[in-house]
Amino acid sequence: MRALRIFASVALLYGVALPSTAAADQRQDWILAAGMPGTYLTLDFVFGAVQAGLEHRAKIYGNANMLTVRGSGIAAVPFGSSQADVELRIINLTLGTSVGYQSIWRNQTFGLGDPMDRKERREREAGGEFNTDSFPFWEGRASLAFPFNDYVLLNHVTAWRISDATDRSFSNLTQVVDDGESVRLDFQLFFKHEDFGGLAPTFQILNFELDNDWKTQFNYGFMFVTRAGLVQRDDLLVWQMYFHSGPVFGGGIDNRDVYGSALFRGPLTFLLVYRSVIDLWQPE
């Protein structure tokens, strides 16, 4: 099964799925099915950012396994990034790795003892108090998909990311201030149907390094995926939100003042993306 991966961290203005009569034969939850071999161009449109990727998928050792190679780039208001990915799916296990380079044009770095909450970041942004940073990064991933039946799918992704970002800088990926290294464990339980798409409660364990110490933060939220219907087929709308409410089950740090974009008053992240997948070539 294909793990759904989104690389942007900003939002669209509008999020209403539009029905399509031209593609009535395509399931609304098509993105949660296993990928087909071929060459594809993906285009992501978000408010303040655009992303494009070219990927090729090929079957190896039978129909249950697939090798995917991908190159992609994103241009956003605060940063730009490009990366290359290789993924190997073996039945329901997918192993992947990425290497890339990121340039942040509106970077915020904090000294020891400096406040780094969202209010402080808003004031710095308004006063033009930011710098720039450019660095390479590497990420390794492992994901498992468990389709219980036609309507329930459990997906888990573990990702370890190492970058050469300046210590104590705000990360557009983790949405916290860290030293450039993090491990994320995401759990998504999708309830899906061909007529409406898929809705999943989500839970995230975020581990990140800060000041030579590893912090653990718990986040929870939801993800909704469905056909947008703006083109004939193979497009989708993704709406995802994560919330941080402090320690969970007596564990984890209280990072409510820091977590999330400075645009928001609360500890949350908001992602709304329109994606179009263009079929360039498929094997006969």
Where exactly are the structural domains of the chain?
A: 30-281
Q: How many CB atoms lie within 10 A of CB 27?
A: 17
In this predicted structure, the answer to whether residue 4 has a pLDDT above a threshold of 80 is: no
Residue 257's pLDDT is what?
97
Report the top-level CATH class of 30-281. Answer: mainly beta
**Among 79, 76, 98, residue whose Cα is nearest residue 87:** 98
| Cα end-to-end distance, the chain, whole Å | 22
Q: Which two tokens stand for residue 201?
A: 């409660």
Q: What single DSSP character describes residue 126?
A: H
Provide the Cα torsion 200, 139, 227, 149; round to 10°: -50
With a CB cutoff of 8 Å and minimum separation 6, the contacts of 214 are: 207, 208
Q: Which two tokens stand for residue 107?
A: 């970077």
Residue 7's pLDDT is what?
34
* pTM of the predicted model as reported, rounded to 2 decimal places: 0.90
Q: Which residue has the tokens 């990927």?
A: 55
3-state secondary structure (DSSP) of residue 169: strand
CA separation (Å) from 40 to 76, 89, 192?
22, 17, 24
Encode pLDDT of 147-179 as tens digits: 999 999 999 999 999 999 999 999 999 999 999
